[in-house]
């Protein structure tokens, strides 16, 4: 029953936000389906950094949730960047927003690994827009800043939930998400009250992402002739995944999102070649 409810909830969200995006009603977000009430308080999405699709999906899901409940959005930026996020949300003009991002060491790193992509910047813009309409959305830097980053990310997510009392939607790298899933699963087995948390990996049929492997550039993965090309939404579970692996959400084909801040985008033609080929 829980899996069926989970699938139906996200199917409804897909229909509302991805299938008919030109419907003007979708701009303001429809009310969250009643089935959302059965969802956990904390949802952690594991992504391949540097795609357009993952931040966009999370932004629209948050848009939906925020119409009926306060929600905190956690992103994999170090806690030292919390002031950057706060200042960005307060900025009133494009010039002020540009100044906030240009003064951030994290957004201007040489190692642009997708955590500060154009899509992430657009996600922040979308959250800022929603907050302007009165939605109760909070943004938190829940990343790690040293060794043992997964443990630090998990602690930051849990402390955000305890401090705010809101629903939590976090977007982190898929490696961290898998480890958190195992930690939460082990913790649940040792407690009479399991953690109200679900980890979901974002998967694609094929496409591209801006990643550092080892050079930071657009990387191609999968095969272009396999899988669905249009965005679709499926939750795939099986006995193999249920034992030690998160659920998966399938978003079709991905498209790379290069660094979000222009001064950091010293990008060569070779680095951008796959995106132009699409």
**Residues with Cβ < 8 Å from 238, sequence gap 6 or more?**
none
What is the distance between the alpha carbons of residues 241 and 165, in angstroms, rounded to a whole number?
30
The least confident of 23-37, 78-92, 251-265 is 23-37
Q: In this predicted model, what pLDDT tens digit does every residue of 72-110 receive, in sequence order?
A: 999 999 999 999 999 999 999 999 999 999 999 999 988
Residue 128: pLDDT over 70: yes
Q: In this predicted model, what pLDDT tens digit does every residue of 14-26 receive, in sequence order?
A: 443 444 343 333 4
Alpha carbon dihedral 74, 64, 46, 244, in 10-degree steps, equals 110
Residue 276: pLDDT over 50: no
At 191 the pLDDT is: 60
Residue 211: pLDDT over 60: yes
**In contact, 115 and 141? CB cutoff 8 Å:** no
Q: Write out the two tokens for 12.
A: 């409804």
**In contact, 17 and 63? CB cutoff 8 Å:** yes
pTM of the model: 0.79
What is the distance between the alpha carbons of residues 216 and 227, in angstroms, rounded to a whole number?
26
At 268 the pLDDT is: 54
Q: Write out the two tokens for 151.
A: 């443990």
**In contact, 46 and 266? CB cutoff 8 Å:** no
Per cent of the chain over pLDDT 90 is 37
Q: Write out the two tokens for 103.
A: 């003064």
What is the distance between the alpha carbons of residues 82 and 135, in angstroms, rounded to a whole number?
20
What is the distance between the alpha carbons of residues 36 and 9, in angstroms, rounded to a whole number?
6
Q: Where are the alpha helices (DSSP H) in the chain?
A: 2-17, 53-65, 82-90, 94-102, 118-132, 149-164, 174-189, 239-242, 269-277
Residue 196 or 29, more confident: 196
Q: Which residues pair with 203 in a beta bridge?
A: 250
**In contact, 197 and 267? CB cutoff 8 Å:** no
What is the distance between the alpha carbons of residues 22 and 132, in angstroms, rounded to a whole number?
22
At 41 the pLDDT is: 87
């Amino acid at each position: 029953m829980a899996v069926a409810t989970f699938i139906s909830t996200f199917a409804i969200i897909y229909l509302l936000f991805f299938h008919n995006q030109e419907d003007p009603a979708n701009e303001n977000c429809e009310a969250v389906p009643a089935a959302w009430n059965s969802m956990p308080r904390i949802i952690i999405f594991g992504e391949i950094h540097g795609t357009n699709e993952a931040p966009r999906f999370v932004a629209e899901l948050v848009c939906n949730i925020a119409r009926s409940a306060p929600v905190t959005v956690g992103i994999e930026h170090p806690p030292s960047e919390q002031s950057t996020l706060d200042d960005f949300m307060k900025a009133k003009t494009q010039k002020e927003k540009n100044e906030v991002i240009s003064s951030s060491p994290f957004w201007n790193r040489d190692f642009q690994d997708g955590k500060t992509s154009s899509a992430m910047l657009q996600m922040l813009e979308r959250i800022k827009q929603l907050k302007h309409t009165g939605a109760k959305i909070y943004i938190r830097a829940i990343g790690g800043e040293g060794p043992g980053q997964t443990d630090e990310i998990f602690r930051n997510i849990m402390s955000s939930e305890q401090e705010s009392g809101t629903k939590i939607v976090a977007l982190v790298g898929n490696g961290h998400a898998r480890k958190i899933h195992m930690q939460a699963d082990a913790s649940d087995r040792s407690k009479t009250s399991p953690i109200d948390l679900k980890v979901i990996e974002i998967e694609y049929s094929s496409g591209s992402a801006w990643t550092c492997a080892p050079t930071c550039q657009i990387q191609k993965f999968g095969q272009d002739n396999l899988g669905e090309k249009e965005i679709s939404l499926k939750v795939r579970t099986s006995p193999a995944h249920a034992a030690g692996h998160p659920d998966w959400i399938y978003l079709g084909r991905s498209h790379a999102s290069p660094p979000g801040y222009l001064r950091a985008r010293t990008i060569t033609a070779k680095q951008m070649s796959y995106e132009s080929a699409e």
